[in-house]
Every structure is written in structure tokens, then in C-alpha cells.
Chain A
């Protein structure tokens, strides 16, 4: 269950398995110190598991009725438990895109020129025509999407500036939107951006294994692009395909905004995702939807099991009765 998600730079990297101090590394010393202080030396064996630690803690509390002792012990034990919990805890947060601020890089700088292609300029006009002229800023999301498709799946800061100029708002208003939505990638992605659904139903059906298989096969980390620039793997939230879980989405940026597709591949297995990757690499089109040959769309495997007869008409009020 090791999660390799990107971290905020400032988040302290925490070694996952290293015990800190005290109770875990040397529970005996920890307990004897306490029992000695309480005058219970030798009454119990030094426990070497957390379970017996908690049992003995109960015993001490019940047998003695000193308020301060129990209070102190309760607090102490509680804090120790918390520490132990912390040690075994994985970094609990993952973010879809790494940073909420921009760092200049050779391919992502505010002073790089960027503008919509001639074909997309027409689309921009079309998109803007959907909104009243005094509410141009409503077009921010469709325009960012278009810019992302045009720019190979991600938004450099200069593209956001270009959008801001079109909708006549301050650039920061566009940055706010682009950082809010995880579907806008602000760092480079592959031509095929594979998004593994990580939400509960898919996770229960094995999305972790799917992701691991993809990462292992491609030899990258999450949100990293393969050396040939073809693939990148990311995580996303529920896309509503839970009935066919687990699923991945392939955002295909290989043909610019004209040939842009965004397909779901459902009922995938670790084996199947690798096949999908290889098919994509060959440039083959493969049918989206369920990858289980025994299913039709989201129907049950092997044909219907219910609703086999003609459906009954809906219950209706007996009009003659009144």
C-alpha cells in the first residue's frame, strides 16, 4: 500500500517504517519506568506488545484510585498510542498536481509566447459566443480545456496568461481556476495520460494493483512522464463507472485538440492495462468501455440474470373505482 504521490515541497518527508523512540523500539524500558514509579515493580511481566501494554494500563487504573495517577497515565498512554499510530501511518494526503505555485522552467515560463492555433481561434470565438459579452470570464474553463488539448495535455503559465487576456481578467483569476480543478495539468504529461480511478469502489476492486502494474510496466512514478514522452500515469477521483470498477481513463493528446479523445476503459485487470498500454503505443484504436468480453456495457457477466420477463406495467390508480 505504498503511496508514491507527490508531496508538497514543504511537507516533511517522513520515513514510513522507522520507529521513533521510546515505546516501540524499547517497550520494556518504557513500561518498567512507569511501573517503577507507581510502585508496581515485578507485579506484571514486562509486556512486549502493545496489547499487553494497554491491558496493564487498564489494570493499573482500575486497581488504584488516585486521580492524578489515572489522569497522568491516561494522557501518557493516549499520547504514546498516537505516536505509534503516527509511525505506521502513511503520508495521508496526495495531491493530483504537485504545486499550487509556479516555478520557472525552460518550457514553462511567463515570457514564453503562447497563443491559440488558427483552428482553435475559431473555436475560441465559438466558445465565447455562448456567454454574454459582459460575462466573458465564464468561458474560463472551456478555454483552459481547449488550451490544454492544444498544448499536449498540460497548461504552461503562458497559456493561462493567454486565456486571461482573451476573457479580460487578471491572470491570477485564471490561475485560481486552473489550480482548483485537478483535470487541468500544470506540469507536463504524456501524449497518453492514463488516469487510474482511486475512489472507494475501484480501490476495493483493485485499482492499486492496476496502478502498480502500470507504473511498473512504464517504469515511472505517478505523474511522471516516460522517457519517450508517450505515457504518464495519474490518479483521479470517481468518474461514475463504479459498476464496471476498476477503470482507467486514457486522455489522448497525441493528435492535438482535433483528435483529442477521453475514453474510459472499464473492468480492467493488471494484465489488461499493460495490453492497453502496448496497443496505444502501437497507435491502434481499441474499443473503449468494458474490457471484460463476457459483459455487454455494464450488464452482468454472461447475460441478464434478472428482468428476464416482460416488465409489468406501472401500478396505476383504478379510475373506475372512484
Chain B
């Protein structure tokens, strides 16, 4: 971080001056002055005495990847930061200009993704010809402005602000969970004074109950109002506010209220002090003990970029990673707090269900031998494989190859159901891409509740609606939205009306410049899905949603494995294969219709959690969870990303693809790959886009190539794809925190 650098910069001159001081004893002796450097006591004189900075400074790099984007090259203005000229677009603030110039300005209330409050005053800088220090976060940069960030005036201003901030801040860093990653701690080291003049009692504030996720210690709050602005602007729950005035000011909800947002965990990250911390993580670990592993999230189809912080074999917490194209810097509560599910209900050993109906741990050799023997006893068309929603591309590839070698092609990924159309990628991807949703001006949501299905996509839509007042129409059962929307209807009938131009919303769609239609993947399971999709395509055609420069026809998937499964062609051959199956291979699949599996079928469950699938299984093969393996996932917009192992596997568990590879050998149909690289080159022959990590591969052909279906639309209204946001897969179902959330926040 640039902060450490700045800290050393800020401290160095002070130290050298102290050493060269003529009479150090008198300095120490004179006791309780607050300013530590003599020239700080008369900053104006010192400022005059300072020589003009030399103009030929080496070019600096913008901070933290700060991007300068000129919407209009004529609007570029030049300002000078510490004598170094930078070109910035008009309308940038002084603070942003400093960031472009590579100078980190300390700040508390300013956050690039929130509105500007300007109330912490930490970002004061000196601007030439300005009588007072200027709050840089709220001051627009003007052409030719000479900004000075390192002058005695600026330093004294920061020192003073810091003294005020620390006035009422408790000295409980040793027992504070933010300790070690606290902005106030860092910045008081870098910019604060080594003593304060405050001798009164510190104030104290009553803690608020914000629910099972966010712990509050409101005495530590410095009233930066980031959480208030986050809740109002990003999360869309107007619960938090700034109450009272003056020294009695506090953040609160006034009436007892839990923060019921699917993004509430993010206030933990944006809180610059320890006022809002993670409740499940409280007193569990210090941040410097943790090993961070940059990986991705699999609890929904968004593929949020996360960092798994682990200590030894244990996942301690999950925090977001910046990815402008996918999750910006937020993650949903499910992503953040599902990690305790990784420690519960885990499958340790291969197990075989005995005659008494109880599982008995066996060795891998025995378990695989039993499975291989049964697999050879059934007819090939009676073999069915179902990949779970958390499956990675490698294991799905291995599963498909294995089943194909056994002579069956009945393999699919559970949330896709009997979805047959894996031919055209545009038919199941979010073609607009998540970040381009911001360019849309009209949204039509068909049978999807993005708030529970993909919270980060919903945050994007909300951002767009807030910024541009985009219209949102929604067809589906009554649902929770945190932005203005129009509930058009509940079922396919409304869809038909819009497609035929009889509905009032169709004019809004056809007048839109960049219309976006999002179809929920929950509709994949409907009988009339083809008719729905052709109705949607008709709407897209009349609204000109699919053009060379804009593709507004989207499918919002539900789970991490779905897109890759369809890319790899995991499509079942016959619709009723599960009902007639004799050998079912569940690779982490818990949400298939287990009751449809015939009683006499032999069920193998390979997975990491003792969830629904295990109850029906005859053999259990323990596998690694996403935090323990290297796997490729494709998110709903078609962006390929990889997980990285953060912690070792539990017990005798193995990576999914390795288990299938071993099983294939025991079964006598050896798969030709022994390494991850080898299996990836096999994937390359099927879906080469899965090898282009961190790249979004847009669909090449539009769905208009698809033959017209002559299915009839049923009148049955759309259902909800996800009943409980907090519990959607085996990890989140095993999580205690998620159970608390659904009990308290959803009242389920």
C-alpha cells in the first residue's frame, strides 16, 4: 500500500530535524506542546521559506491502478501536484488528481464508490492562493491549480484533524478486531501527532444490533458516514442514519431494526475503524496471522472475486477483491459468510452403506472397486451422471468423459435441468456483460429475482437505476426489489402481451436505446421453456435489443457450475433418464429430484458435504470444496476464472476430477489425463474459452439462429428460483451463520 510509503515520507524529515536540533533537552523539557516539529508551529513562515519544487520530477505512477479516462479530450485540464504536472479530465476532484499523480491523500469519509460527504476533513491539502487548507475530496480540480500535499500547512492540518478524531476514539486497539488493518491506526501513525491535548472523558455510545453479521462497537465510530451512504446508495436499505448532533452524534437506526440487506457485510470493509466488524469473525484471528489466497466465489453464478483468509487448515474469513467488471469491490453476505459451512458436515472418508443402512468408512480402493463393479453390471443407458452446482469445469469434463466411455451420455449439471440448448452460447449467457448493464436504459426481468439469484448483478442494476433512472419492468411472482420497478405481471401471459406489443411496457422497450432483457435460469425447468425463450426473442427483436454494437438479451444463471457445464456440453440425452436409471453418479448434486431416482438404483455421491444427496447415496466419495482445489469456473457472463487452493482438503478427500480419473481406471475405461494440464488440454478441444482465464468470451452467434419452436405458452405463473437467499447449496446449507441469517433476516 502507498500508505506505508507516505508514512515514511511524512516521518523522515521530522526525525532528521529532531536530531539536528540544537538543544534536544530543552525540547523534551518544555513538555506538553503538541506539535513535534518546530516549524509546524509557524507553518506560514516555513511555507514561505521552502524553495519552489523543481519542475523536472520523475514521472509517477497513479495510485492503486487509478485509471484516467477522458470522456472528451478537450476537457482535459492540467494541475500541479507537489510541482508535478498531471493531466486530468474536467470534474475530477483534487483528491483524484492527487491519486493520478501518485500521491496518497489520507481520507476516512471519502470512498470512490460512494457519494462525497466531506465531513472527516482528513484529506486537507494546501492549494496555492487558497486562504485555508482545502478538503480535497470535495474540491473540484481547476485548471492550473497548484496542489501541495507535503507542506507544513497540510501536515499541521492533518495532525489537527487526527487529534480531533482521536479525541473520542477509545484506546482499545488491543481488543479491537480492526487492529492491524485499521485506517485510523495506520493514518494516525503516518499523519498524526504523538500526543494529544484532550484531557476530558471520552464519550461512549450504545452499541446497535444490526443483525447476525455485523458487530457494532459504536464508541469507536468516527462518524465518517460511509456505512450510511453505503446502505442508502449501494445496498438500497434506508435503515442507517446519523442521529443527534455535535458530540452526541451517532450512527444508528433510531428504532430497533436489523440491517436486512444481502450486501450488509460490506459495511465491515468500508468502515475505516473498528466500529463495524464481522460478528462471526470476532476475536477469531488477527489479520497478520492470516494467509490470503486470491480466488473466486462459487455460491452464485456471478463468480465474485474474493480473498480467502486462512490460518493453517482453517478458513477464517472471506473478503472481496476488486474486479471492476464483476463485483466491483462488494460481495454478497452469502459469499462472505458461507465459510463456516466449509468446516461443518464435511465428508472425510469414502463410505459404503451397509445392509443395515448405515455408512461404514472404507478405503478408497474398496469404494472405487464397488462403484466400478456396479457400473459394469448395468446397461449403459441406465447410467446417469449429475454434476452439482458447485462443480468445476475439470471435474465435469472428467465426469462426461467417464460416462461417455461407459456408453452413456446422460450427464448434466443440476441447475440446468433438462436444458437442451447448449448449442448457442448466447442462449445461456449474460450477453450484455455485468459491467455493461450500466449502459442500459430499460430493463425487463423475466422470471428472475436478481436480488436473491445474483446479488452483485442486482447491485449493478441498482447502480444503473440510481444513476440514469433506467426503467425496470419485472414479470414474475411478487419479489423484493431495492430500486423502483414496475411489476408487469406474474406469468407468460404478460410476456406474450409485450411480445405482441399490446402491453404498455413494450413502447418503453422499443423506445429504449440500450434495452436489456434478463431471463432467469429458473425457467430452464419449465415445460414451456422453448416457447418462453421464443417469446423473449420476439421481444428482443422488436426492441432491437440484439445489434452488432449491443446485445441486450441475457440469461441470468443461478450457480457457478452452470455455464461451464453447458459450454462442455453436459446435456442429457433423454429427458426421463433419471426415472429409469440404475446407476446414478451424483457429483456434488443435491438439488436434483432425488425422489425420482428409482429405489433399486445404485447412487454414488461424490462431494464435500453430507447434504441431501448423501441420504440417498449407497457409496460416498469425499471430494474437495472450492476452497481446497484448483478449478475452472465460468460465470454467468462467460468470464472464465480459476479457484486457487487456500486450505488443505479435509480427511481423505480428493479433487473431484482425480476421483473420477481413478475410478475410470478401476472400471477399466482409463481416462487419458493424469494432470490438471492434461485435463485442461482435453477441455481445450471442447471449449477453448475455458482456458482463457480472467477473460470474458462473448458469444459469437445470436440466438436468432435457433429454429422457431412451436410450443404453446402455458398460463402457469413464473415461480421463484431461490426461496432462501442464504441457503442455496451444500456449503451454505451447512453454515451456521447462514442458518442464523435465514432465521433472523428472512424469518424462515
Interface residues of A (CB under 8 A from B): 8-12, 14, 67, 70-71, 74, 78, 82, 85-86, 89, 92-93, 95, 100-102, 104, 110, 157, 169-173, 175-176, 179-182
Contacts of B201 in A (CB 8 A): 11-12, 14, 86, 92
The stretch of B245-253, B436-444, B514-522 that contacts the partner chain: B245-253
Contacts of B25 in A (CB 8 A): 67
- Apart from the given pairs A12-B204, A110-B255, A170-B238, 15 other A-B contacts in the complex at a CB distance below 8 Å: A8-B205, A8-B206, A8-B248, A10-B204, A10-B219, A70-B29, A71-B28, A74-B31, A78-B32, A82-B199, A95-B244, A95-B248, A170-B239, A176-B243, A179-B245
**Interface size class, chain B:** 20 to 34
Say yes or no: A175 contacts B199, CB within 8 Å.
Answer: no
Closest to B231 in A: A172
Which of B203, B208, B243, B253 has a CB less than 8 Å from the CB of A11?
Answer: B203
B240 near A: Cβ within 8 Å?
yes
Say yes or no: B243 contacts A179, CB within 8 Å.
Answer: yes
B:243-274 near A, CB below 8 Å: 243-245, 247-250, 252-256
A67-B25, A157-B255, A172-B238 known; A9-B206 Cβ under 8 A = yes
CA distance A157 to B254 in the complex (A): 9
A-B contact pairs, 6 of them (CB 8 A): A89-B200, A100-B244, A102-B256, A157-B254, A172-B238, A180-B245
Say yes or no: A176 contacts B241, CB within 8 Å.
Answer: yes
Closest to B255 in A: A102
Which of A110, A171, A179 has a CB less than 8 Å from the CB of B244?
Answer: A179
CA distance A179 to B25 in the complex (A): 51
Report which residue of B28, B32, B239, B241 has the largest number of chain A beta carbons within 10 angstroms of its beta carbon. B241
Say yes or no: A8 contacts B203, CB within 8 Å.
Answer: yes
Report which residue of B250, B252, B254 has the largest number of chain A beta carbons within 10 angstroms of its beta carbon. B254
CA distance A95 to B243 in the complex (A): 13
Contacts of B199 in A (CB 8 A): 82, 85-86
Distance of B215 from chain A, by nearest CB (Å)? 17
B242 near A: Cβ within 8 Å?
yes
A92-B200, A101-B206, A101-B254 known; A175-B28 Cβ under 8 A = no
Say yes or no: B241 contacts A175, CB within 8 Å.
Answer: yes
Q: Is the interface of A mostly helix, strand, loop or mixed?
A: loop
Closest to A172 in B: B241
Distance of A97 from chain B, by nearest CB (Å)? 9
CA distance A85 to B241 in the complex (A): 36
Contacts of B200 in A (CB 8 A): 89, 92
Distance of A176 from chain B, by nearest CB (Å)? 4
Which 8 pairs of residues, A with B, have the shortest CB-CB distance? Answer: A170-B238, A100-B244, A172-B241, A175-B254, A100-B243, A179-B243, A10-B204, A176-B241
CA distance A108 to B35 in the complex (A): 50
Interface residues of B (CB under 8 A from A): 25, 28-29, 31-32, 199-201, 203-206, 208, 219, 238-245, 247-250, 252-256
Say yes or no: B28 contacts A176, CB within 8 Å.
Answer: no
CA distance A176 to B250 in the complex (A): 10
Closest to A110 in B: B255
Closest to B199 in A: A82
A85-B199, A175-B254 known; A78-B31 Cβ under 8 A = yes
Q: Is the interface of B mostly helix, strand, loop or mixed?
A: loop
Say yes or no: B240 contacts A172, CB within 8 Å.
Answer: yes
Say yes or no: A172 contacts B253, CB within 8 Å.
Answer: yes
Distance of A145 from chain B, by nearest CB (Å)? 17
Distance of B615 from chain A, by nearest CB (Å)? 44
Distance of A256 from chain B, by nearest CB (Å)? 26
Say yes or no: B28 contacts A101, CB within 8 Å.
Answer: no
CA distance A14 to B29 in the complex (A): 34
CA distance A114 to B238 in the complex (A): 22
CA distance A245 to B167 in the complex (A): 34
CA distance A250 to B560 in the complex (A): 67
Contacts of B206 in A (CB 8 A): 8-10, 101
Closest to B249 in A: A100
CA distance A133 to B132 in the complex (A): 39
Say yes or no: B28 contacts A67, CB within 8 Å.
Answer: yes
Closest to B252 in A: A101
Which of A10, A86, A182 has a CB less than 8 Å from the CB of B205?
Answer: A10
CA distance A8 to B247 in the complex (A): 11
Distance of B464 from chain A, by nearest CB (Å)? 21
Contacts of A180 in B (CB 8 A): 243-245
Contacts of B208 in A (CB 8 A): 101
CA distance A85 to B31 in the complex (A): 19
CA distance A67 to B28 in the complex (A): 9
CA distance A102 to B208 in the complex (A): 11
Closest to A74 in B: B31
Say yes or no: A179 contacts B238, CB within 8 Å.
Answer: no
A74-B31, A110-B255 known; A100-B248 Cβ under 8 A = yes
Report which residue of A67, A86, A101 has the largest number of chain B beta carbons within 10 angstroms of its beta carbon. A101
Distance of B505 from chain A, by nearest CB (Å)? 24
Closest to A9 in B: B206
Distance of B625 from chain A, by nearest CB (Å)? 40
CA distance A176 to B28 in the complex (A): 46
CA distance A82 to B248 in the complex (A): 24
Closest to B32 in A: A78
Contacts of A101 in B (CB 8 A): 206, 208, 243, 250, 252-255
CA distance A301 to B548 in the complex (A): 88
Say yes or no: B32 contacts A175, CB within 8 Å.
Answer: no
Closest to B240 in A: A172
Contacts of A102 in B (CB 8 A): 254-256
Say yes or no: B203 contacts A100, CB within 8 Å.
Answer: no
Say yes or no: B238 contacts A173, CB within 8 Å.
Answer: yes
Contacts of A182 in B (CB 8 A): 245
Report which residue of A9, A71, A102 has the largest number of chain B beta carbons within 10 angstroms of its beta carbon. A102
CA distance A101 to B218 in the complex (A): 13
CA distance A9 to B200 in the complex (A): 18
Closest to B28 in A: A71
Closest to A11 in B: B204
Say yes or no: A100 contacts B29, CB within 8 Å.
Answer: no
Contacts of A12 in B (CB 8 A): 201, 204
Contacts of A71 in B (CB 8 A): 28-29
Distance of B231 from chain A, by nearest CB (Å)? 9
Closest to B205 in A: A10
Contacts of B203 in A (CB 8 A): 8, 11, 93
Contacts of A169 in B (CB 8 A): 238
CA distance A78 to B200 in the complex (A): 14
Say yes or no: B250 contacts A100, CB within 8 Å.
Answer: yes
Contacts of B253 in A (CB 8 A): 101, 172
CA distance A113 to B243 in the complex (A): 24
CA distance A100 to B243 in the complex (A): 6
